[in-house]
Amino acid sequence: MQFKRIEMQGFKSFADPVCIELNDGITCIVGPNGSGKSNISDALRWVLGEQSPKQLRGNKMDEVIFAGTTSRKPKGMAEVSLVVDNSSGMLPVDYNEVAVTRRMYRSGESEYLINGNNCRLKDVRELFMDTGIGVDGYSIIGQGKIQEIVSTKPENRREIFEEAAGIVSYKTRKQDAERK
């Protein structure tokens, strides 16, 4: 499964709509300090359902909305879409291309969409579960993460292997069933 593109508008420093194409092979993002490189990985985390502003290098979630500059007004909404190629069928949906979208308004209201249809955060989580891609997956290795893996408790380290082995969705469903 491959990421095809990231589209965003009103997200952090990306006030205007941008589309970042991710072609075959490795994509490197280069640019001067403060030009928005890390904001792109924040966008990726955010669209996958990140709930912690700290993980997005902020204090409050609405800080992801473009805050304006001396010459530009702030935006009222942030939107990020991640488009993935699902021709391998790794994601459990009948589409060759899957677009996951998250929107957030200044009112605090949030929306998630899969291929343009409104859905819950839970649906986005479940879509990527056991693919290694979700927020709790191992596909986004932030600063300090390797150190954390090495020094964490064995139980926590085990969770990383469980995600890689693809059994997290079964564990989650078992826990849900036991709670009912």
Could you say whether residue 35 binds ligand ATP (CB under 6 A)? yes
Q: Residue 54 class from Cβ within 10 Å (0-12 exposed, 13-18 middle, 19+ buried)?
A: exposed
Q: What angle do CA 157, 51, 11 make, to 5 degrees?
A: 125
For ligand ATP, the binding residue among 25, 31, 116, 154 (CB under 6 A) is 31
User: Which residue, 38 or 172, has its beta carbon nearer to ligand ATP?
Assistant: 38
Contacts of 102 (CB under 8 A, 6+ apart): 46, 47, 49, 79, 80, 110, 111, 112, 113, 124
Check the annotation: does 37 bind a ligand. yes
Q: How far is the CB of 22 from ligand ATP (least distance, A)?
A: 17
> Is residue 159 helix, strand or coil?
helix
18-21 and 97-105 as β-strands: parallel, antiparallel, unpaired? unpaired
Count of residues in contact with ligand ATP, rule CB under 6 A: 14
Place of tokens 């904001």: 39
Q: What angle do CA 39, 2, 138 make, to 5 degrees?
A: 60
Could you say whether residue 38 binds Mg ion (CB under 5 A)? yes
Could you say whether residue 131 binds ligand ATP (CB under 6 A)? no
Could you say whether residue 169 binds Mg ion (CB under 5 A)? no
Could you say whether residue 36 binds ligand ATP (CB under 6 A)? yes
Could you say whether residue 70 binds ligand ATP (CB under 6 A)? no
For ligand ATP, the binding residue among 23, 25, 28, 33 (CB under 6 A) is 33
139, two tokens = 């596909």
DSSP state of 69: -
For ligand ATP, the binding residue among 9, 39, 81, 101 (CB under 6 A) is 39
For ligand ATP, the binding residue among 34, 108, 116, 144 (CB under 6 A) is 34
Residues at the contact surface with ligand ATP, assessed by CB under 6 A: 12-13, 31, 33-39, 63, 65-67
* Binding site, annotated residues for ATP: 32-39
